Amino acid sequence: MNDLHQAARRCIGASDPEEKLRLTHETWLALQAGELRPDPSGPPAEAIGAPGRPLRPRLVEARHVPQRGLGTPEGRAALVHAIAHIEFNAINLAWDAVYRFRGFPADYYRDWASCADDEARHFAMLAARLAELGHAYGDFDAHNGLWEMAEKTAHSDLARMALVPRVLEARGLDVTPGMIQRLRGVGDERTIGILELILSEEVAHVAAGTRWFRWCCERDGLEPRATFVQLLRDYMGGNVRGPFNHPARLAAGFDTEEMDQLVALSL
């Protein structure tokens, strides 16, 4: 197999986490080595469906995922599990960006394959931390919000680049510092180290979303700031949650006018 799109599809379809991680790392290495490339003559992307995932965790509505305090190992394990689930979904989202959307420059595919490899590494670190806390991925209920947005934006690369990396994944930039502060209060330096690494690397992932969202806008003759706000209204009712991590978002390609718009929408 030398078609990058089909290799990405194979990564998405893997249901065993270890297999998904192995295929993700192998595919990224093969792309770097020049052994994979997008094949414009290959089969078109199939309609989006559920990605490969293990039987557990049980997926529930977000409001039904229990909130636990961090004062106990169980509570910290639940937090680590929730973040691990986000990273697992992020692997699939990055590969779907490679598989589904055709006709981009080579750098687009490298960006999202690199992101998939990062997310796989993040998941592995969190799974190892879960094991240290006496748990495994699947032990707690989780929700499917990230993949639901992938389904809603399957028809539009513009909407996908705007709403998955620049809204849902960017939310991680906003909330992770607060998690770190709470974990510092209970002395969990091991988990803090993992989250600090993930936070630093997620800035680049959101920046990739910004870069390719603006590329799509230029291709389609659209003004990026107004288009972003319109997509927020069309897909999310204009509902945006603050507060925002301004330094991280600015580092990820948001500008001050966009940040002012987000703050206004969150009020």
Q: What are the tens digits of pLDDT across the range 86-144?
A: 999 999 999 999 999 999 999 999 999 999 999 999 999 999 999 999 999 999 999 88
Is there a domain that residue 50 lies in? Answer: no
Is there a domain that residue 48 lies in? Answer: no
What is Dmax (Cα atoms) for the chain?
Answer: 55
Is there a domain that residue 107 lies in? Answer: yes
Query: How is residue 188 annotated by DSSP?
Result: -
Could you list the residue range(s) of the whole structural domain that residue 68 is in?
Answer: 4-36+56-266
For residues 267 and 265, what is the distance between their CA atoms, to the nearest angstrom? 6
Q: What pLDDT is recorded for position 251? A: 97
Backbone angles phi, psi at 112, to 5 degrees: -80, -30
**Tens of pLDDT along 153-208?**
999 999 999 999 999 999 999 999 999 999 999 999 999 999 999 999 999 999 99
Domain of 154, CATH number, reads 1.20.1260.10
* pLDDT of 66 over the 90 cut: no
CB neighbourhood size of 108 (10 A): 21
Is there a domain that residue 45 lies in? Answer: no
* Separation in Å, CA 47 to CA 51, 90, 119, 144, 186: 12, 19, 24, 18, 46
> With contact defined as beta carbons under 8 Å apart, do 57 and 140 qualify?
yes
Q: What percent of the chain has pLDDT over 90?
A: 88
* pLDDT of 14 over the 80 cut: yes
- Hey, what are 55's tokens? 């039987």
> With contact defined as beta carbons under 8 Å apart, do 241 and 171 qualify?
yes
- Hey, what are 188's tokens? 């969990």
* Separation in Å, CA 187 to CA 78, 82, 105, 128, 178: 16, 19, 46, 18, 14
Is there a domain that residue 44 lies in? Answer: no
* pLDDT of 34 over the 70 cut: yes
Tell me the mean pLDDT in the region 46-67.
86
Q: What pLDDT is recorded for position 63? A: 75
Is there a domain that residue 41 lies in? Answer: no
How many folded domains does the chain comprise?
1
More confident residue, 212 or 143: 212
Q: Is the whole model's pTM more than 0.75, yes or no?
A: yes
What mean pLDDT is reported for the chain? 95
Query: How is residue 62 annotated by DSSP?
Result: G
* pLDDT of 4 over the 90 cut: yes
Is there a domain that residue 114 lies in? Answer: yes
pLDDT bin (cut points 50, 70, 90) of residue 64 is: low
* pLDDT of 239 over the 70 cut: yes
Is there a domain that residue 43 lies in? Answer: no
Tell me the mean pLDDT in the region 24-51.
94
